[in-house]
Amino acid sequence: MSSKLTAGDLQIITRIAVFRGLKAETVEQIIAPATAMMLRPHEWIARQGDPATAFFIIIDGWVKLYRSAPSGDDTVIEIMTKGESFSEGVAFTGNRYLATAEAVTEARVGRIPADHLVRCIRQSPDIALAMIASITQHLHYLLQHVEQLKAQSGVQRVAEFLASLSPAEQGHCSVALPYDKILIAGRLGLTPESLSRAFARLRTIGVVVDASHVMVKDVAKLRALAADDRSAVRGTLRPVR
C-alpha cells in the first residue's frame, strides 16, 4: 500500500547520504513524486532481475537485501534501516535490480521513480556526482564487510555486531536484537548453529542472551574482542564443550 509522504518522512528522506551537498530546492525537485510504501514482514520491495523502476529510502523498520542463486539458496547481502537508501545506482543507469529487497519487520519505505530521477539528473548533473559519491561510500562499506568475513572469527563478528547495538562505549548495558537470529546469522556469514556457539562462548566475558534480549556486563571488553585485542580478553574466552 502506498501513501503520500508526511512531514516526518520528508525530514528523514532529505537527510540521506545521496542528497548530501545538494541544494534544498534540488532535493525538493527529486522527491516531488515520491510515495511511501507500507510493508508487512516478508513483503517484497524490489526483486532481483526485475527492471529498476525506482530507488528507495527506508523511513522506518528493517529491510534485507539478498541474492538468490539458481540452486534456490539465498545470500544476505545487507540489512538496512531508517535513513538508508538502496538501488540508486541501477535506477539512474537503467539496469536491473541486482538483489531482492524484502521487509524484515513492518516498514515504511520511500519510493522515487527512476524516470523522474533521470530527468532531474539531466537538468542538474550535480545530482549524478552526489549519487556517485554515495555509491562509492557504500562500496567502501561492503568491502569492509567482506574483509570482516574473511579476517574475523565468528565470535569476533558476533561481538562486533552486539557492540554496534550498544549505546555505551564501556560499562554494562542491555540491548534488544533488532531482528531474528537466523537473519543475524546470515548477515554475519554464519550458520544458526555457529551463531549459537558464538553466543555461548561470549558468556565467558559476561554476555548473556535471553531470546531477543542481550545483557552485556562489560561493553569495553566486548569491543576489544571485536577488535582482536587479545590482551584484553586473554584467559576469559573459553571454547564451548
Structurally, at CATH architecture level, domain 2-149 sits in Sandwich (2.60)
Q: Do 204 and 238 contact (CB within 8 A), yes or no?
A: yes
Question: Where along the chain do its domains lie?
Answer: 2-149, 152-233
Q: Which residues pair with 209 in a beta bridge?
A: 214
Q: Residues 107-129, buried b or exposed e (16+ Cβ, 10 A)?
A: bbbbbbebebbbebbeebeebee
CATH topology of domain 152-233: Arc Repressor Mutant, subunit A (1.10.10)
| 2-149 and 152-233 in the same fold | no
Q: At what angle do helices 154-165 and 219-226 cross, to 10 degrees?
A: 140
Interatomic CA distance for residues 169 and 166, integer angstroms:
8
| Tens digit of each residue's pLDDT, the chain (241 residues) | 788 999 999 999 999 988 988 999 999 999 999 999 999 999 999 999 999 999 999 999 999 999 998 888 889 999 999 999 999 989 888 899 999 999 999 999 999 999 999 999 999 988 888 888 888 888 888 888 888 778 889 999 999 999 999 988 889 999 999 999 999 999 999 999 999 999 999 999 999 999 999 999 999 999 999 887 444 444 444 444 4
